[in-house]
Amino acid sequence: MVLTLYKIFLFSLCPVTLLVGHLISYRVTLEVDKDGWFNTYFVKQGWFWTSLIGWWCMIRYGLFGHRGSWKKTLIRYSVLTAWWLIFTQSIWTEVAPLMDLVFTATGGRCTFDVFDPSQSLTWQLNEKFHDTFSRRQSGLQKLYRALKQGSGNPSSLLQGAISEIEYWLSEGKDQLKNMEATPSQLNSLIDEAVRSWRKINSSNLCRSVGGYWIGGHDPSGHIFLITLMCMFLLGELQVIGKKALRKLKSDHRFLYLLKDHLIGIMRLGGITLLISKPPANRKDMIKQLGMAPLKWVKQVLILMALILRFLVWENPVTVLILLTFMWWWSFLITTIAFHTLLEQISGLLCAYVVAAVVYWKLT
């Protein structure tokens, strides 16, 4: 294999970004909403968007017309997808993903410490029960449903704990009523009740019943996933890159059409022409003024359709590059704001174990 500049870029992008992000983290503190729309609907569904854009590019650039090319891409994609599922997803209910097995093997566990064990006299919610207020509230709601559903014959203490959680959810109080037990005892009781109802062996199951991970080594799932996605998109760009670039360079008609419609928009649907050369009678003037906004909207819609056609239909490599940049940016933010350096490195290495082998010999 010839070590080209592109190969060096492909295999060094994520490690160098991790190093840069770690250095930036010493100077910058970021407050990132883990449950924001971008993270929820985009990053966490990243393999779907990557697959969609990646395979759309393969279709549009005629990869299926080359004997054997699409099959090789399918093999590489299948290997990466299988590794993503094994490492981060619970394929079977009884089997935890590999990243969760690493976490539990290093001392991590799912905990339900709802009440602050350090406050034995004044009953308060544990501020360490999830890392944000919204996650704490959501965790309590899930835990409340799990306790109500799973506790067939609850003890009086457990009923009291359920009542206190319900009270907090309805009243939004930070301080709770006194009870005939210590916070630690109630936390243990809740933990036993949940675990007797359901076996919790993965982070996904832990979150589904309101618990949260503590302790252990937690390989960064975001770093792992984003590394795989960048490697897939940039790796397959080697296959379609030359054809995509030729198509992009030869598409001059778009620039002429873009210029015409931009001029039409800047003329405000003909209003500037009406001002410089008004009609002879008032009736035509009113008619043309009424039509001007419609003409302007039409020009804008045509321009949007033109750009969409150029980017998505005729030159989808531009969308692939944009998506790769967004994944890279998300990778950088993750290195600054989330996980320890060792957890980031382990997530990166676990992705490279497979991705580097898949793309090392690709020419």
Residues marked as catalytic: 222, 339
Instruction: Please choose, from the candidates 160, 169, 162, the residue with its C-alpha nearest in 3D space to the C-alpha of residue 133.
Output: 169
Instruction: Please choose, from the candidates 89, 84, 96, the residue with its C-alpha nearest in 3D space to the C-alpha of residue 358.
Output: 84
d(CA 54, CA 316): 9
Q: Where are the beta strands (DSSP E) in the chain?
A: 109-111, 212-214
**34, 39, 45, 49: CA torsion to nearest 10:** -160
- Give the residue carrying structure tokens 């393969």: 58
Tally the C-alpha atoms within 13 A of residue 188's C-alpha that lie toward its C-beta: 6
| Max CA pair span of the chain | 92
Instruction: Please choose, from the candidates 251, 96, 244, 115, the residue with its C-alpha nearest in 3D space to the C-alpha of residue 176.
Output: 115
DSSP secondary structure, 180-217, as one string: SS-HHHHHHHHHHHHHHHS---SHHHHHHTT-EEESS-
